[in-house]
Chain A
């Protein structure tokens, strides 16, 4: 996927999230869910201490702000990401606007950053093969300080992402 197409899809993600995203961490989590649900953003995600993130997304966000596709405005100690003046309609394809991942973003964009952190972590673990008690244990180990979000996080994962953490997942294919 070329750079302009990636920036086009990134802009579309912010658009369907309501035109703004509170903070870079939230952007990474929404992008992860968007891609996981089937709309390729051309990004590669990793997992670290505090959840999923993408080095390539960080670079594309820099380019997006340099090229005014998106803007970042400081609010307190956080940056709010908004749509910039540079349109990307020329790079659009039917997928760009209407991918299934964008539908997931639209549904989950209003969730708190803590809730998204729990949802993305349990989805990430499920995709690795964790489920049932094993998943509960690992989720508790990694996100014990967000335990109050676990039950609702599982509901959101089941309802919006088709992830039943009690059931055994299937691995990704090449």
Chain B
């Protein structure tokens, strides 16, 4: 396995300026076929349909996450004044950070939506599960990890599964304060040109430390426990934290949930869902063995899954718009290639279920009247985000803290959950919730629907 690997290596990066790599095994992982594939998977899927600069890849993002994981460990170690990351843990965090997205399919979340809707077994593998499979079963990746340190593959897998102890190790890579989020917000903001995601990273890192926090298990009467996790020094860092969370929320509103990006991605999902029917009918269709297996409802191996990336799919879409023996598939692909995307018709705020039902029925009729198949030409798009919410947050102040909390050190030195605080994120409540129910339909249908229904 050993290649002639020289460290340290320095890689230029538009967000972090210079990324330094000191471990030979990290360079070997970067050079692996599975990691190199991430150069061909865009971070923002079809985001460049609206933000032409959004061409960045999962590869650059993964490098950024690796870099920040290293910095966060250094900061936490300095803040606590003790060795909290031994050599094995440090290697595992760095590897998990670098590899955390290795299982992403083409166009990131688009492919996951596609496989989830394939007919057949309802249990679908998401990108996190693919990441775990690749760490375990891709010979090249697994061998690099195990050559670096026996047991490293297992440790990396446990971090990604969220079963690694101590908890703060997992929290570096996956939590409300994780390096994944830090990098993608800065990177997506920079590459799209949308400023909301920019926050004071340097100060944020400086305010992080470890502390035991009260932990609750499900239900009454469970034995009280504490867990050591990452906390923010609220005496210095609360405003930076709020800036970061608000920025994330606005990025969801204006970038990730953008109606045109959603339209493009959902149309791509529909095109991919139409293609298997064409394959199963025995008609000629440009694709590869992995796609044919998916079309037939078969299981993919890791190696087959890794043959799929954005460039491969885009090549098919270009071909299908002209040569597919299926009108719907041709049309959807042509619309994608020529950016003739569906338009959003949004239910008014406060609409109740009877309003939604009535609207859906009316729009479906409009779609049929124009001889379109509603299964492909009427797509539900339901988006929802709130700036800060613990998933089990109880609205009464002082209630038991929930599991997805951010903890901070208050002015009196006590460690408290954000959900019980006076933070603007909590006080603003529903004002920082963004929710929209849309139907995505061809332009002419949207115009008519807005006229009839008074939807936007």
| Chain A residues within 8 Å of B, Cβ to Cβ | 2-4, 23-26, 28-29, 35, 38, 40, 44, 46-51, 53, 55, 58-59, 62-63, 67-69, 74, 77-79, 86, 88, 90, 112-114, 116-117, 125, 128, 138, 141-143, 145-146, 171-174
Contact = CB atoms under 8 A, between A and B. Distances in A.
Contacts of A77: 394, 396, 399-400
B217 A69 contact: no
Interface of B: 115, 121-126, 128-129, 132-133, 161-163, 165, 167, 215-223, 225, 227, 294, 299-300, 305, 352-353, 356-357, 360, 380, 382, 384, 389, 391-392, 394-396, 399-400, 403-404, 435, 437
Given A25-B392, A48-B404, A114-B217, A145 B384 contact: no
A90 B300 CA distance: 37
A38 B120 CA distance: 12
Contacts of B391: 24, 28, 53, 55, 58
A121 to B, nearest CB: 9
A68 B352 CA distance: 9
A117 B356 contact: no
A40 B122 contact: yes
Given A49-B167, A51-B218, A90-B357, 18 more contacts: A2-B380, A24-B392, A28-B392, A49-B162, A50-B216, A50-B218, A53-B392, A55-B391, A58-B389, A58-B392, A68-B352, A74-B394, A74-B395, A77-B396, A117-B218, A125-B163, A173-B123, A174-B294
Contacts of B360: 4
A146 B222 contact: yes
Contact of B403 (A29, A53, A62): A53
Interface centre among B128, B218, B399, B435 (most CB of A within 10 A): B218
A148 B454 CA distance: 58
14 contacts: A2-B380, A24-B391, A28-B391, A47-B162, A48-B404, A49-B403, A50-B403, A51-B218, A77-B394, A78-B394, A117-B218, A141-B163, A172-B124, A174-B299
A165 to B, nearest CB: 15
Contact of A174 (B115, B404, B435): B115
Contact of A48 (B162, B217, B356, B435): B162
Contact of A113 (B161, B219, B380): B219
A158 to B, nearest CB: 20
A47 B125 contact: no
A46 B132 CA distance: 14
Contacts of B123: 172-173
Of all A-B residue pairs in the complex, the 9 with the closest CB atoms, nearest first, are A113-B219, A113-B218, A173-B299, A40-B122, A117-B218, A58-B391, A77-B399, A145-B223, A59-B384
B217 A146 contact: yes
Given A53-B392, A174-B125, A29 B218 contact: yes
Contacts of A25: 218-219, 392, 403
B129 A172 contact: yes
Nearest to A77: B399
A50 B217 contact: yes
Contact of B384 (A62, A125, A128): A62
A59 B87 CA distance: 40
A113 to B, nearest CB: 3
